[in-house]
Amino acid sequence: MPGIQQFQVNLFCDDVDGCLAFYQALGLTEKFRAPASGPIAHVEVEAAGVRIGLTSARVANELVDLGVEPADHPATEIVFWCDDVDAMYYAALAAGATAVVAPTDSPDSRLHYAWVRDPDAHQLKFVQNRR
């Protein structure tokens, strides 16, 4: 059986440049972009060895008719495990995120977490292990 070499999540965006700036402000590094120069159709950033692709929904539909579009309400979320939820939450807000749930503790106090939406309304969760 063929093996999986890497894991990536793609987010379809209206504003790829804005999303790229947001994720770079959170410390993610750019790993790939297409085309190599000119307006970005697709760019990949990386966190903890996992890539997040930011793809123009318009370009994806024009190239291969994927039938995708950004949504104004999330159906999925990306979870970032981190060592300081409060710092990540406020960094995300400063970078243009919309607050969803401010930092709070889980009922059993084992986790500290918060939710935001990136500039294209993708939902992100920041989680910190308290124990």
- Which residues form the domain of 48? 8-129
Q: What is the mean pLDDT of residues 52-80?
A: 84
Residue 64 lies in a domain: yes
What is the spatial distance between Cα 81 and Cα 130, in angstroms, rounded to a whole number? 11
Q: How far apart are CA 53 and CA 105, in angstroms?
A: 30
How large is the average pLDDT for residues 54-76? 81
| Domain-located, residue 95 | yes
**Residue of 91, 105, 90, 98 whose CA lies nearest to 123:** 98
Number of domains, the chain? 1
Per-residue pLDDT reduced to its tens digit, 92-125: 999 999 999 999 999 889 999 999 999 999 999 9
Residue at 121 is within a domain: yes
Residue 50 vs residue 72, higher pLDDT: 50
In a domain, 1, yes or no: no
Q: Return the higher-pLDDT residue of 51 and 63.
A: 51
Model's pTM, two decimal places? 0.85
Q: What is the CATH number of the domain that holds 31?
A: 3.10.180.10
Arithmetic mean of pLDDT over the chain: 91
pLDDT of residue 99: 97
Task: Read off the tokens for 86.
Answer: 């409060």
Q: Is residue 3 situated within a structural domain?
A: no
pLDDT of residue 21: 97
Answer yes or no: is pLDDT of 3 > 90.
no
Q: CA 8 to CA 32: how far, in whole Å?
A: 12
